[in-house]
Structure 1
Amino acid sequence: MNKFLCLSFDDGPNVESGDTTMNDMLDILEEYNVPASFFLIGNKITEENKSVIQRAIKLGCDIENHSWTHPKMAELTKEEIEAEYEKCDNAILTLTGKKAQFFRPPYISVSQQMYDIIKVPFICGLGCNDWDPEYDAEYRYNQMMKDAQNGTIFLLHVMEKNSPTLQAVKRIIPELKKQGYTFVNLPDLFKNCGVNPDIPNSLWSVAQMTYNNT
């Protein structure tokens, strides 16, 4: 049986001067010939960093929506939710020529109003606390190894200075490949697992016929 996984990364692209975390992650993905999925924050998409996004696309990665400013969207009004989603979507469309296929709500903060407004599948994922610098690369690697199964969506971050995740990913790709896993982007993960992600009020962490439903 073929086994598929997806590495997904939030909070790019990098905007701090001199920070290359997202590009460094792309170096690792290119080294191992692995595509991934990047959920971008819209107001971080600038003329200065569009080249790293274009590089991700060339490597087979998909570019997805993580809101415009990264707020807790369940606390927002209808108009604010629409603006957060649509402004990010338009920035992605302008740069890539197509709309995002998936949405990851910041902080995994969701509401029925969000589901009613945003008409693409919501993605969560299995995380390893990699947004918190107290968790080192060893912890992140071990947690990812525990969570690996057919259809797993890893929820990771390429925010500025997040080098422990770079170290963990560089270790885990060859190890999971040895175990027979194939890394794919999100659209291919659902396709290869034979799962239609477009189910109302779903919040996917694993591309299987079981899913989180609010």
Structure 2
Amino acid sequence: MAEQKSIALTFDDGPNTSTTVEMLDVLEAFGVPATFFLVGENITAETIPVVRRAYACGCEIANHSVSHAALSELTPEEILAEVQPVTEQITAITGEPPRFFRPPYIAVSPTVFETVPLPMICGMGAEDYNDAVSAQQRLERWLSAAQDGGILLLHDSEGNTQTVAAVQKLIPALQAQGYRLVTLSRLFAEKGVQPAAQNGVLYSCTADGDAV
């Protein structure tokens, strides 16, 4: 029997009380988890219950910086000031420190790699932050990028209804192709990969670390 394929859906720029909630409704309807990369400034008294809901339904919570700044333009001290507070916020909410970091704008540099104390994740995107890209175009781009051990990059930013619509079709389409949808931690574990921090690798697939 062939090994079942696995893939991870990852969402950037939440939490919020609109799109993040709609995305959780979709994920729960299909019974699949995802990984949410949170922006610290969006973690508020109103959105903390949304984070708790995501964690309680099996989703993984990860770090996307305090203010969505381009870290490649910052000093090591400024980089840590963008990373550590969000780690503390997530740990306080879930009781579990985040295991992954996604640099805003995927803006990296040697200093960023040397400074951030978490494995760094990229992923295959579909420009779903651009309203001009339709839900159907997003769906087609993610499906064409799908691969075993792959990481898909999506956005649950407030008002991003086209991605919600696309995900409603993306999940069953991936399942029809034989994929199991899992969290990032489960994806790496299933593929026998231990992602490391400060190793110069930006993971868009579990195999990306093989070059290290």
TM-score in same-fold range (> 0.5): yes
Which stretches of structure 1, 4 residues or longer, exceed 2 Å deviation after superposition? 209-213
Kindly report which structure 2 residues correspond to 1:16-55, keeping only aligned pairs within 5 A, or say none.
20-55=18-53
Aligned counterpart for 2:93 among listed residues 95, 99, 102: 95
Secondary structure, aligned partner of 2:52: helix
**Within 5 A, what are the aligned runs for 1:83-122?**
83-122=81-120
Residue pair 1:203, 1:211 contacting (<8 A) in 2 also: no
8 Å CA contact 2:124, 2:204 repeated in 1? yes
Partners in 1 of 2:175 and 2:61 — Cα distance?
Answer: 24
Pairwise CA RMSD: 1.4
Residue of structure 2 equivalent to 1:10: 12
- Name the SS for the 2:207 alignment partner: coil
Gaps of 5+ in 2: none
Whether the 8 Å contact between 1:131 and 1:157 is mirrored in structure 2 is yes
Shift of 1:37: 0.1
Separation in 2, partners of 1:41, 1:189: 23
Distance 1:212 1:7 in 2: 23
Deviations 1:19-45 (A, max 9, x none): 510000000000000000000001110
The Cα of 1:98 is off from its aligned counterpart by 2.0
Cα pair distance change 1:211/1:122, threshold 3 Å? farther
In percent, how many aligned pairs have the same letter?
43
* Aligned partner of residue 155 in structure 1, secondary structure: strand
Count of residue pairs brought into register by the alignment: 209
Secondary structure of 1:10's counterpart equals strand
Mapped to 1, the partners of 2:161 and 2:95 lie a distance apart of 31
Q: Which runs of 5+ in 1 are unaligned?
A: none
* Amino acid in the other structure paired with 1:52: V
The TM-score, its normalising length taken from structure 1, stands at 0.94
Asked if structure 2 preserves the Cα contact closer than 8 Å seen for 1:204 and 1:212, the reply is no
Q: Which residue of 2 aligns with 1:202?
A: 201
Letter in 2 for 1:177: Q
